[in-house]
Amino acid sequence: MNDPLPIHDPGDGGTYSLEVAARITGLSSETIVHYQEGGLLGPSRTDAPIDDESLRTLRRIGHLRDAVGVNEPGIRLILELARELETLRDQMRAGF
């Protein structure tokens, strides 16, 4: 019998094992490790537990890949642009 998935409350500061993250996102463990090693979840995160931000990124990657058909270089570009946009928004909020 499969263990039930933990209730996911975004922003609760939790961390998830690779196996749980795979079950939550629908991505394989191997795919998640590939994205970690490729830097899509931030700098070299293969030894760190998967946090809420990484889980959101994995869900975004899964959507871009499966629903929209974006390849990995396109996903990388979209994620970089999204991070840059968020940085600019933060600067605007801070009054820069």
Residue 75 lies in a domain: yes
Give how many domains the chain has, as a whole number: 1
Tell me the residue ranges of DSSP E strands in the chain: 15-16, 50-51
Q: Supply the CATH number for residue 75's domain.
A: 1.10.1660
The per-residue pLDDT for range 70-79, each reduced to its tens digit, is 999 999 999 9
pTM exceeding 0.95 = no
Angle at 41 between CA 38 and CA 44, to 5 degrees: 60
How far is Cα 32 from Cα 25, in angstroms, rounded to an integer? 10
Coil, strand or helix: which one is 45?
A: coil
For residue 34, the one-letter residue type is H
The per-residue pLDDT for range 10-39, each reduced to its tens digit, is 555 678 999 999 999 999 999 999 999 988
Range of the domain at 46: 15-93
Residue 8 lies in a domain: no
